[in-house]
Amino acid sequence: MASTNDLKNGMVLNLEGQLWSVTEFQHVKPGKGPAFVRTKLKNVLSGKTVDKTFNAGTKVETANVDRRDMQYLYHDGTDYVFMDNSDYEQYSITETVVGSAANFLLENNTIQIAFHDGAALYVELPPSVVLEITYTEPGMQGDRSTGGSKPATLETGYEIQVPLFIEQGTKIKVDTRSGDYLGRVNE
Protein backbone atom coordinates (compact mmCIF):
# COMPACT_ATOMS: atom_id res chain seq x y z
CA MET A 1 0.00 0.00 0.00
CA ALA A 2 1.09 3.55 -0.73
CA SER A 3 -0.41 6.99 -0.30
CA THR A 4 -1.48 9.10 -3.28
CA ASN A 5 1.13 11.60 -2.05
CA ASP A 6 3.84 9.03 -2.96
CA LEU A 7 2.78 8.58 -6.61
CA LYS A 8 5.50 8.69 -9.25
CA ASN A 9 5.52 8.25 -13.03
CA GLY A 10 5.93 4.57 -13.95
CA MET A 11 4.48 3.32 -10.64
CA VAL A 12 1.98 0.47 -11.15
CA LEU A 13 -1.24 0.46 -9.13
CA ASN A 14 -3.67 -2.40 -8.55
CA LEU A 15 -7.12 -0.82 -8.85
CA GLU A 16 -10.19 -3.09 -8.77
CA GLY A 17 -8.13 -6.11 -9.84
CA GLN A 18 -6.54 -4.39 -12.84
CA LEU A 19 -2.99 -3.09 -13.20
CA TRP A 20 -2.62 0.60 -14.10
CA SER A 21 0.63 2.47 -14.75
CA VAL A 22 0.87 6.13 -13.69
CA THR A 23 1.84 8.19 -16.76
CA GLU A 24 1.14 11.65 -15.28
CA PHE A 25 0.23 13.01 -11.87
CA GLN A 26 -0.39 16.44 -10.41
CA HIS A 27 -0.97 17.48 -6.80
CA VAL A 28 -3.66 20.18 -6.66
CA LYS A 29 -4.31 22.41 -3.63
CA PRO A 30 -7.35 24.56 -4.41
CA GLY A 31 -7.95 27.74 -2.43
CA LYS A 32 -11.11 26.22 -1.00
CA GLY A 33 -11.65 22.56 -0.12
CA PRO A 34 -9.30 19.61 0.36
CA ALA A 35 -6.21 18.88 -1.75
CA PHE A 36 -6.40 16.14 -4.38
CA VAL A 37 -4.19 14.30 -6.86
CA ARG A 38 -5.12 14.31 -10.56
CA THR A 39 -3.62 11.33 -12.44
CA LYS A 40 -3.51 9.88 -15.93
CA LEU A 41 -3.41 6.07 -15.77
CA LYS A 42 -2.64 3.57 -18.53
CA ASN A 43 -3.97 0.02 -18.33
CA VAL A 44 -0.91 -2.23 -18.42
CA LEU A 45 -2.58 -5.00 -20.43
CA SER A 46 -4.98 -3.19 -22.79
CA GLY A 47 -3.13 0.13 -23.15
CA LYS A 48 -6.34 2.11 -22.46
CA THR A 49 -5.73 5.51 -20.83
CA VAL A 50 -8.05 7.07 -18.23
CA ASP A 51 -8.01 10.16 -16.01
CA LYS A 52 -8.62 9.51 -12.31
CA THR A 53 -8.72 11.87 -9.35
CA PHE A 54 -7.83 10.79 -5.80
CA ASN A 55 -8.21 12.70 -2.53
CA ALA A 56 -4.78 13.62 -1.17
CA GLY A 57 -3.43 11.05 1.28
CA THR A 58 -5.76 8.23 0.11
CA LYS A 59 -4.23 4.77 0.32
CA VAL A 60 -3.83 2.93 -3.00
CA GLU A 61 -2.62 -0.61 -3.59
CA THR A 62 0.62 -0.83 -5.52
CA ALA A 63 1.54 -3.81 -7.66
CA ASN A 64 4.97 -5.39 -7.49
CA VAL A 65 6.30 -5.06 -11.03
CA ASP A 66 9.77 -6.35 -11.77
CA ARG A 67 11.49 -4.70 -14.75
CA ARG A 68 14.36 -6.74 -16.17
CA ASP A 69 16.90 -6.02 -18.87
CA MET A 70 16.62 -8.78 -21.46
CA GLN A 71 18.29 -9.56 -24.75
CA TYR A 72 16.08 -10.41 -27.73
CA LEU A 73 17.25 -13.74 -29.22
CA TYR A 74 14.82 -14.85 -31.95
CA HIS A 75 11.21 -15.16 -33.14
CA ASP A 76 9.82 -18.69 -32.79
CA GLY A 77 6.40 -19.10 -34.42
CA THR A 78 4.02 -17.04 -32.27
CA ASP A 79 6.54 -16.42 -29.47
CA TYR A 80 9.54 -14.15 -29.06
CA VAL A 81 12.45 -15.58 -27.09
CA PHE A 82 14.36 -13.32 -24.70
CA MET A 83 17.29 -14.00 -22.36
CA ASP A 84 17.59 -12.41 -18.92
CA ASN A 85 20.96 -10.61 -18.83
CA SER A 86 21.49 -11.34 -15.13
CA ASP A 87 20.93 -15.13 -14.93
CA TYR A 88 20.87 -16.15 -18.65
CA GLU A 89 17.40 -17.69 -18.22
CA GLN A 90 15.38 -17.78 -21.47
CA TYR A 91 11.73 -16.68 -21.64
CA SER A 92 9.20 -17.14 -24.43
CA ILE A 93 6.85 -14.17 -24.65
CA THR A 94 3.73 -14.20 -26.82
CA GLU A 95 3.05 -11.84 -29.73
CA THR A 96 0.17 -10.22 -27.83
CA VAL A 97 2.51 -9.11 -24.99
CA VAL A 98 5.25 -7.94 -27.38
CA GLY A 99 2.68 -6.05 -29.51
CA SER A 100 3.92 -3.26 -31.75
CA ALA A 101 7.41 -3.47 -30.19
CA ALA A 102 8.03 -6.35 -32.64
CA ASN A 103 8.33 -3.74 -35.42
CA PHE A 104 11.54 -2.44 -33.85
CA LEU A 105 13.16 -5.58 -32.38
CA LEU A 106 16.52 -6.67 -33.73
CA GLU A 107 18.29 -9.81 -32.57
CA ASN A 108 20.73 -9.21 -29.69
CA ASN A 109 19.13 -5.83 -28.75
CA THR A 110 18.68 -5.26 -25.02
CA ILE A 111 15.27 -4.02 -23.87
CA GLN A 112 13.22 -3.96 -20.65
CA ILE A 113 10.39 -6.38 -19.94
CA ALA A 114 8.03 -5.88 -17.00
CA PHE A 115 6.89 -8.95 -15.02
CA HIS A 116 4.17 -9.30 -12.39
CA ASP A 117 3.82 -12.60 -10.46
CA GLY A 118 6.07 -14.33 -13.02
CA ALA A 119 3.97 -13.29 -16.04
CA ALA A 120 5.28 -10.85 -18.65
CA LEU A 121 3.14 -7.70 -18.78
CA TYR A 122 4.71 -5.57 -21.50
CA VAL A 123 7.88 -4.81 -23.45
CA GLU A 124 9.45 -1.40 -22.91
CA LEU A 125 11.57 -0.12 -25.81
CA PRO A 126 13.91 2.86 -25.70
CA PRO A 127 12.30 6.05 -27.13
CA SER A 128 14.19 5.61 -30.41
CA VAL A 129 16.16 2.91 -32.24
CA VAL A 130 18.61 2.90 -35.14
CA LEU A 131 17.60 0.64 -38.04
CA GLU A 132 18.81 0.16 -41.59
CA ILE A 133 16.57 0.61 -44.62
CA THR A 134 16.51 -2.60 -46.65
CA TYR A 135 14.33 -1.31 -49.48
CA THR A 136 13.10 2.02 -50.80
CA GLU A 137 12.72 3.56 -54.25
CA PRO A 138 15.92 5.32 -55.35
CA GLY A 139 16.13 9.06 -54.78
CA MET A 140 16.19 11.48 -57.72
CA GLN A 141 18.19 14.63 -58.32
CA GLY A 142 16.41 17.54 -56.65
CA ASP A 143 14.77 15.53 -53.84
CA ARG A 144 14.90 17.55 -50.64
CA SER A 145 13.97 16.94 -47.01
CA THR A 146 10.87 19.16 -47.29
CA GLY A 147 9.64 17.75 -50.59
CA GLY A 148 7.43 14.94 -49.32
CA SER A 149 7.91 11.35 -48.32
CA LYS A 150 8.04 7.80 -49.67
CA PRO A 151 7.65 4.33 -48.12
CA ALA A 152 10.73 2.48 -46.90
CA THR A 153 11.10 -1.02 -45.46
CA LEU A 154 13.30 -1.40 -42.36
CA GLU A 155 15.50 -4.40 -41.56
CA THR A 156 12.79 -5.63 -39.16
CA GLY A 157 10.27 -5.74 -42.04
CA TYR A 158 8.31 -2.72 -40.77
CA GLU A 159 7.40 -0.03 -43.33
CA ILE A 160 7.60 3.69 -42.51
CA GLN A 161 7.52 6.99 -44.41
CA VAL A 162 10.89 8.68 -45.01
CA PRO A 163 11.96 11.85 -46.89
CA LEU A 164 12.55 11.46 -50.63
CA PHE A 165 16.37 11.82 -50.40
CA ILE A 166 16.81 8.74 -48.15
CA GLU A 167 18.36 5.78 -49.99
CA GLN A 168 18.50 2.02 -49.49
CA GLY A 169 21.19 0.95 -46.98
CA THR A 170 20.91 4.19 -44.96
CA LYS A 171 20.77 3.87 -41.17
CA ILE A 172 18.00 5.99 -39.67
CA LYS A 173 16.67 6.80 -36.22
CA VAL A 174 13.02 5.77 -35.67
CA ASP A 175 10.66 6.83 -32.86
CA THR A 176 9.43 3.57 -31.23
CA ARG A 177 6.26 5.20 -29.84
CA SER A 178 4.89 6.55 -33.14
CA GLY A 179 6.96 4.77 -35.81
CA ASP A 180 8.06 8.12 -37.26
CA TYR A 181 11.34 8.88 -39.03
CA LEU A 182 13.58 11.03 -36.79
CA GLY A 183 16.71 11.45 -38.90
CA ARG A 184 19.74 9.86 -40.54
CA VAL A 185 22.50 8.31 -38.47
CA ASN A 186 26.08 8.83 -39.61
CA GLU A 187 28.43 6.06 -38.56
More confident call, 142 vs 23: 23
151-181 pLDDT, tens digit per residue, is 999 999 999 998 888 888 899 999 988 888 8
Q: What pLDDT is stored for residue 73 in this prediction? A: 93
Q: What pLDDT is stored for residue 166 in this prediction? A: 83
23-69 pLDDT, tens digit per residue, is 899 999 988 889 999 999 988 877 789 999 999 888 999 888 888 89
R_g of the chain, CA atoms, integer Å: 21
5-22 pLDDT, tens digit per residue, is 888 887 888 898 888 888
Candidates 3.40.190.10, 3.40.720.10, 2.40.50.140, 3.40.50.1260; CATH matching 66-124:
2.40.50.140
Q: What pLDDT is stored for residue 142 in this prediction? A: 59
* pLDDT class of 145 with cuts at 50, 70, 90: low
Residue 4, Cα to own-chain centre: how many angstroms?
Answer: 25
Strands 36-43, 18-28: parallel, antiparallel or unpaired by DSSP? antiparallel
Give me the CATH topology for the region 2-60: SH3 type barrels. (2.30.30)
CATH number for the domain running over 128-184: 2.40.50.140
pTM (2 d.p.): 0.70
Domain 66-124 and domain 128-184, same fold? Reply is yes
Average pLDDT over residues 87-105: 88
* pLDDT class of 146 with cuts at 50, 70, 90: low
Q: What pLDDT is stored for residue 144 in this prediction? A: 61
Q: What pLDDT is stored for residue 100 in this prediction? A: 84
Query: Under 8 Å CB-to-CB from 83, ≥6 apart: which residues?
Result: 70, 71, 73, 89, 90, 91
The whole-chain average pLDDT of the chain stands at 87
* pLDDT class of 86 with cuts at 50, 70, 90: confident
Query: Would you say residue 143 has pLDDT above 60?
Result: no
DSSP state of 89: -
Query: Would you say residue 147 has pLDDT above 90?
Result: no
Q: Could you tell me the residue ranges of all domains in the chain? A: 2-60, 66-124, 128-184
Query: Under 8 Å CB-to-CB from 129, ≥6 apart: which residues?
Result: 104, 106, 109, 173, 174, 176
